[in-house]
Structure 1
Amino acid sequence: MTSLRRVSSLTLHSLRVSARTEWLFVELKYDDGISGFGEATMEGHETAVKHAIADVARLVEGEHRVTGPVMGAVGQFALGNRARFTAVSALEQALWDARGKRKGLPVAELLGPVLGHPRLYANINRSIDVRTPEGFAAKAAAAVAAGFGAIKIAPFDGLDWTTGYKPGQEARYREGLARVAATRAAVGDDIDLMVDCHWRFDPDTSERLIGDVAQYRLYWLECPVPELPGSIPAIAALRGSCADRGMLLAGLESLNGLAEFLPWLEAGALDVVMPDVKYAGGLGECRLIAQAAERHGIICSPHNPTGPVCHAASLHLAAGLANCPILEHQYAETPLFHEIVAGGFPALVNGRANLPPGPGFGIELALPQSTEVLDPLGCALQH
């Protein structure tokens, strides 16, 4: 009879990797020496997430299963609180990682049949230091040379047309279009190009945007309008406008849990939904979201622009999704992305990424001395 394995400690690792980005990793260690990692990075909300992890960490005391108390916490006290959803998602990831290591199996096989390995697209936005059209073009060309067959940019810095057109910001809009044009010219016609708007437009200005970017043959346009429940009809109309010009409409990277996704799926508001394993409730909840999207004929392409634990988890998730043809990958924000992963990630093969070898997520972190180590429970999980 297998002995019950209990959590002996929970550690929160905080690593500042740029002026903009702080990666947060949760490490669960069991009394048999097995450890599992999850990622809780949430830009601009790091303090809230740290408090939330301390709040929900007690749920894993003595936990030895992936299901049960941790995911029960989503309905119990995470709904409506994105920081708590992020905390619960990180714990759920860590439990899957530890379970895979104990069973000697990759997490992808524990989740279900492995269907393949999706293409990766390079989100180059955070790696662009020179924010000129030429700077965008140079970084995009470098990503293509590194093996990526698809590129995503966020070109509309500082623009805010969420409440309508503002003539004083026309120059920022024009600069954004110039960045799109330069990126397309740099990568050529055979590379898929996505444009992330970061919710900077309203429906009317989005219609103008869709018309203006059509000449650049986008694969998809992402998050043009703030994604509030009341905006579902307007965003569904934008999906039609995108379809008329040969591009997809993508979004919903910040939603928490299947219940928040369902109204959008049922309304057919988007072509591509982007649940994030860090925010949506973890891998299990993301699978439910992807399966619901598949029933509505919608692509699921997980949001994955942050650290290496999220990337590893997203690779395992995507490998089992029938409706995930392409997956995000943050490109060249910091060399730490690869340096802190012992052995690194497998190289791209024809723009696709194999799963890291080994059980669990297949990676081990080698964190630098600059990493801040926190015990959110003051050793309350020690047995």
Structure 2
Amino acid sequence: MRITDYELYEVPPRWQLLRIETSDGVVGWGEPYTKWHFVNGSTPATRSAVDQMLQHYVLGEDPARIEALWQSMYRSSFYRGGPVHMSAIAGIDQALWDIKGKRCGEPIFELLGGRARDRVRAYEHVSAHHDESNDDPAAAAARDARRAVDEGYTAVKLVPTDTLERIDTPGAVEQARAIVGAVREAVGPEVGVALDFHGRASKTMARRLLAALEPFDPLFVEEPVLPEQWPELATLAEQTTVPLATGERLYSRWEFRPLLEAGAVDVVQPDVSSAGGITETRKIADMAETYDVSFAPHCPIGPLALASSLHLDVGAPNALVQEQVILGRERASRYVENTDWLDLRDGFVDVPDGPGLGVSVDEDAVREFAGTDLSYDRPVGRRPDGSVAER
């Protein structure tokens, strides 16, 4: 069996689905991460990287040699790593695992050692923004969180802060406290409430916010500071009992290593579609287990990325909870023929248990929607004085 052809489809809302074909007719699918790479409705950086990896290192090769192909794609680039390079490798790697599973007639998690659990806990995103029905963000967040719990979720996540000054006012801290307090009161003590600072806080504000929010027992606080400020993360970890999480903007085990060695993190959040795929993300999860650190994959994109994450979750002893943005939403089932695994049951989802990823892609739908309605613009964050802020 040899890899003979591929096609990369850009589909709404802003996903890329990669199809790899073999000489035996077995087809594998993967999903490179593209969230911030769209330019006028297309993803030239990621697409170019996928093309380069496939044309130079993968086409004509045996798809069963996943580790060798991964090493070729990674090490043959003298300037390596980062979101574009590792996203391209990730999508290809997922497709190679999908092919291997289909060829063996087994789901990927069985090839990785089998189940460590029966199902995977998932969380829902909660909005704390103003809306038409209520101008109070705390009330809006509480209502959204209660809705999620009524739908069966046992964990939610929200962003409790807006754009922050480097040293902001007591009012900014109080607003975050009001929002998180309202959510905690709405869902009760049995529901996990995760918080995401999005790296918006300086170390000064992160320290203040963590102290203010600690009484609400967050499941974790994600990116309390920017990932490049990881030494400050280690300092914060010594000052709080709140579990600290990071990793969506880290792309290899080498980038996670210093955080783990410094005891800076309680939860790692690599993205299987941007951190080198199933091969690399599994290694990150295993490395985290060595440091008694939990594993909660980042996944704000489509069904192939979520399926890849679930295959890792179900086999990782240290898996905590899975991010997702597609359960119960038409945009996921649009491209998938078997949707039963996208159902939430008592706060958990099932891993697809068919061969490979276990996802039956509706290729006609993928081709129908490819290239349509892809516009995406990420505006620059600004403070009142006009300076650039984190968003």
**Shorter chain as normaliser: what TM range?**
0.7 to 0.9
User: What does residue 234 of structure 1 align with?
Assistant: 232
CA distance in structure 2 between the aligned counterparts of 1:31 and 1:70, rounded to whole angstroms: 20
Which segments of 5 or more consecutive residues in structure 2 lack a partner in the other structure? Answer: 373-391
> What are the Cα deviations for residues 154-213 of structure 1, in whole angstroms up to 9, with x where unaligned?
2323x134xx2144xx66554444332332222222101000110001111111101111
For residues 284 and 181 of structure 1, do their structure 2 counterparts lie closer, same or farther at Cα, with a shift above 3 Å needed? Answer: same
AA of the residue aligned to 1:152: K
Number of the residue aligned with 2:49: 52
Q: 2:358 is matched with which residue: 348, 358, 362?
A: 362
Whether the aligned pair in 1 keeps the contact of 2:173 and 2:209 (CA below 8 Å) is: no
Contact map agreement 1:127 1:332 (CA 8 A) in 2: no
Pair 1:349–1:125, CA change in 2 (3 A)? closer
Specify which of 160, 165, 168 is matched with residue 167 of structure 2: 165
Question: Is residue 25–residue 41 contact of structure 1 (8 Å, CA) maintained in 2?
Answer: no
Structure 2 distance, partners of 1:255, 1:176, is 26
Root-mean-square deviation (CA, aligned residues, Å) is 2.3
Do the aligned partners of 2:127 and 2:141 also contact (CA within 8 Å) in 1? Answer: no
Q: Which amino acid aligns with 2:161?
A: F
Q: CA deviation at 1:331?
A: 5.1
Distance in 1, Cα, partners of 2:355 & 2:204: 49
What is the CA–CA distance in structure 2 between the aligned matches of 1:127 and 1:8, rounded to whole Å? 48
Distance 1:277 1:183 in 2: 29
- Relative distance call for 1:332 and 1:171 in structure 2 (3 A) is farther
SS at 2:161 equivalent:
coil
DSSP 3-state at the match of 1:124: strand
Report the TM-score, using the length of structure 1 for normalisation: 0.86
| Secondary structure of the corresponding residue to residue 305 of structure 2 | helix
- Other structure's SS at 2:11 match: strand
What are the residue-to-residue correspondences of 1:339-358 with 2, within 5 Å? 339-346=334-341, 347-358=343-354
**2:150: which partner in 1?**
145
Partner of 1:7: 3
Could you tell me how far apart the structure 2 residues matched to 1:166 and 1:232 are? 21
Are 1:311 and 2:303 counterparts? no
Contact 2:272 2:308 in 1 (8 A): yes
Equivalents in 2 of 1:127, 1:200: separation in Å? Answer: 16
The question of whether the paired residues in 2 share the 8 Å contact of 1:118 and 1:324 is answered with no
The answer on whether the counterparts of 2:3 and 2:60 sit within 8 Å (CA) in structure 1 is yes
Give 3-state SS (helix, strand or coil) of 1:372's partner. Answer: coil
Matching of residue 260 in structure 1 with residue 255 in structure 2? yes
Q: Distance in 2 between matches of 1:331 and 1:151?
A: 14
Query: Are 2:128 and 2:141, in contact at CA under 8 Å, matched by a contact in 1?
Result: no
- Alignment of structure 1 residues 81-96 onto 2, 5 Å: 81-96=82-97
Task: Return the alpha-carbon distance in structure 2 between the equivalents of residues 127 and 165 of structure 1.
Answer: 22
| Alignment partner, residue 378 of structure 1 | none
1:168-179 equivalence runs, <5 A? 174-179=174-179
State which of 17, 26, 40 in structure 1 corresponds to 2:32.
Answer: 40
Say if 1:121 and 1:152, in contact at 8 Å, map to a contact too. no
Distance 2:173 2:94 in 1: 39
Give the Cα separation in 2 of the matches to 1:141 and 1:12. Answer: 39
Structure 1 residues without counterparts, runs of 5 or longer: 374-383
Give 1:308 shift: 0.8
Whether the aligned pair in 2 keeps the contact of 1:128 and 1:139 (CA below 8 Å) is no
- For residue 70 of structure 1, report the CA deviation from its aligned partner: 3.4
**Correspondence for 1:380:** none
Partners of 2:192 and 2:303 in 1: CA distance: 24
CA deviation profile, 1:222-277 (whole Å, cap 9, x unmatched): 1010111xx3332112112231xxx2111121111111111111111111111111
